Amino acid sequence: MTLSTSGLHDDLSQLRLDNSFAALPSTFYTRLQPQGLTQPRLLHANEQAAALIGLSPRALQSEAFLRVFSGQQPLPGGDTLAAVYSGHQFGVWAGQLGDGRAHLLGEVIGLEGNWELQLKGAGMTPYSRMGDGRAVLRSSVREYLASEAMYGLGIPTTRALALVVSDDPVQRETVETAAIVTRMAPSFVRFGSFEHWASRKQPDELRTLVNYVIDRFYPECRQTPTGETADEKGAILRFLDEVTRRTALLMADWQAVGFCHGVMNTDNMSILGLTLDYGPYGFMDTFQLDHICNHSDTQGRYAWNRQPSVALWNLYRLASSLHTLVPDGDALRAVLDRYEAQFIQAFHARMAKKLGIQHWRPEDEALLDSLLKLMHDQRADFTLTFRRLADAVRGQTQGFQDLFIDRAAAQAWYEQLAARHAEDPIAEESAADDAPAQIRANAMDAVNPLYVLRNHLAEQAIRAAKEGDASEIETLLTLLRDPYRAKPGYESYAALPPDWAGGIEVSCSS
């Protein structure tokens, strides 16, 4: 066994694999090998993600690593496959879907849990439909960065291990070059995985999938509060309840940082409550309640202010699938009825911290709503509005006011917040060394990021990557992994976007 000085493996062949999804019946997937890239080049590898599966930095530079993650050869000990699922896309039943350009290489036993490794952009599968099975450089860079940005924000997400590029041509709106991003997650099972078997009226396969997911990821659902083993109905209801809770918390996370997913189809909803499938996503610059980040979303179904309700709609589709095994519709609805309160409580908790409020009160909703309306009407920057609130608490209100056309209105709102702070004092024992205002402001900085993956920053990384330069990717990863602490010399990465950023459009082809 080849180990580095850090105790991590220098050789991929030393990884331990489980491949639990591949142990399911063959109806759940198709076994096939990827279609490797021609003359691939490793643009970037993520040492932090690699450590999760026991790989050393040295392993990432090996020829074997490049061959595996360019799709040229299998992962040692893996069991390569493409999974089948179905789903609703933009609210319309789309029927059978599946991994149209993704190949699951295997499931690695990590140091603190298992991780499935999946190539995105590795060629056609039986589920590609009219697609070519490829991914282009720009979308691959965006996904690579986004998953790590969300991780840095503490938001549940898939991770990214490697980004491999090639000169292979790929036709989109224009001819672009191919790339493969390696994604990592404990599981890539989605809501649509359950819809698939329910729609086909195959309860045995649905039960197999439910049992696999519960046993693997939700074993606590097998037990009742009294410690007795739950029957099938009880286990499934508890499973749905936990998925509902995780989804509500995820939506609160998204809303609190101004993140728009762009394509919240049921096949893009993780059964583990992870942010999954980064396509035409966006972190808002100018705040608009009904901001649409996906140029293809002409009806605004997935606008920022609609994401929480869309998540509930998707949960109803999941519950409808489980109705095949649990005919008690009232019991299923009772679980889903808890979603709204769970989301609101979580969202208020997050926004209270962003506003520097220690204990949320019902009347604080009016204070928050008035700020969001002001930001919407004045087209203020989402991220910087909250970040500069902390400076205002320190007595430096000009930066906050500068984000608004009507500076007087911004100051009037801030005075309301200051009055609220006066009713919510910092405990004296917490203020032993610093002034209470400084303690409050520091706490606000700890939850209001300075750096987010704005579209123009991603675009700058893409342009450099097209020239074979990964330095912008490395810089962004450094900033986004620690997004709350200001770093001297990187002020431009925390500034308002340049004028040309308004012309960036992302769509489903991204």
What is the structure's pLDDT at 506? 81
What is the structure's pLDDT at 4? 59
Mean predicted confidence (pLDDT) in 11-16: 96
| Alpha carbon of residue 198 to chain centroid | 27
> 59: left (phi > 0), else alpha (psi -120 to 50), else beta?
alpha
C-alpha torsion angle, residues 233, 234, 239, 242 (rounded to 10): 140
What is the structure's pLDDT at 153? 98
Residue 5 has pLDDT above 60, yes or no: no
What is the structure's pLDDT at 142? 97
3 state DSSP class of 433: coil
3 state DSSP class of 465: helix
Residue 429 has pLDDT above 90, yes or no: no
Backbone angles phi, psi at 32, to 5 degrees: -165, 155
Q: What whole-number percentage of the chain has pLDDT above 90?
A: 91
Per annotation, catalytic residue among 79, 253, 267, 277: 267
To the query of whether residue 267 is one of the catalytic residues in this protein, the response is yes
Using an 8 Å Cβ cutoff, are 51 and 112 in contact?
no
What is the structure's pLDDT at 492? 97
Give 196-230 pLDDT, tens digit per residue: 999 999 999 999 999 999 999 999 999 988 888 88
* DSSP secondary structure string for all residues of 62-79: SHHHHHHHTTSSPPTT--
